[in-house]
Structure 1
């Protein structure tokens, strides 16, 4: 049984909730990832994907230089434990209709697992 820890992308990229859409897009480009975690003083508050920036932001007329990521983020974040099986992560993604999950060990976010990480050989 393969664990999420074995396939996740470690060291998740995060930004403060008031960072702009352009800040998020640039970080995604620099880090070659499709998401950033949104942090507040209390910890992880949400996740923003490249899809969120385009569909919830740009397509709605948002100015990418001034619109904060909290305007497009998914705030009810579902997580998965690093020790869980990849099958469990895939089932969670199906149930929640998401393509990425922050990976935690206890209360600490240690990575992100995507659907592509779980099925790397699919086209």
Structure 2
């Protein structure tokens, strides 16, 4: 049985909720990624994506050098442990329609990595088509207007 620790990306960078939206976007640009885990010290408290920055900050007229990550991040974060079976996490991603899941150490609950749909596609090919199909289904808005 393959576990998440076998396929996850270990070099994960996080951002503080007090950082500016501009700094989060700069880090995403430097790393060529579309999302960052948000950590308060060593505790995972959210995720911020390039879409969060665009829709929740820019579209709302927030100044990127003044708005904080905490203003735009998603707080309901799905995460997994490094020793969970890959198939279990793929089901979680499919059910929640998410493409990336932060990975926590089972004992300390600290962020130690991230697993993405790309990791699954390149390192664990079984069932990836089904997971991608479910993730790509249209979803409902995540907040009231």
Which TM-score bucket, shorter chain as reference?
Answer: 0.7 to 0.9
- Between 1 and 2, higher relative CO (CA 8 Å, sep ≥ 6) is seen in 1
Equivalent pairs counted in the alignment come to 122
SS at 1:64 equivalent: coil
- The structural deviation recorded for 1:33 is 2.2
Under a length normalisation based on structure 2, what TM-score does the superposition of the two structures give? 0.74
- The structural deviation recorded for 1:9 is 1.4
Q: Rg: which structure is higher?
A: 2
Calculate the aligned-residue CA RMSD, in Å: 1.9
Corresponding residue for residue 68 of structure 2 = 68
Superposition map of 1:5-84 within 5 A: 5-41=5-41, 43-84=43-84
- Higher strand proportion, which one? 1
- The structural deviation recorded for 1:52 is 1.4
What are structure 2's unaligned runs of at least 5 residues?
Answer: 130-145
CA distance in 2, matches of 1:56, 1:91: 28
Q: Contact 1:47 / 1:77 at 8 angstroms: preserved in 2?
A: yes
Under a length normalisation based on structure 1, what TM-score does the superposition of the two structures give? 0.86
Q: Contact 1:18 / 1:68 at 8 angstroms: preserved in 2?
A: yes
Corresponding residue for residue 85 of structure 1 = 85
CA distance in 1, matches of 2:111, 2:41: 14
CA distance in 1, matches of 2:114, 2:49: 12
Corresponding residue for residue 118 of structure 1 = 120
SS at 2:6 equivalent: helix
SS at 1:6 equivalent: helix
What are structure 1's unaligned runs of at least 5 residues?
Answer: none
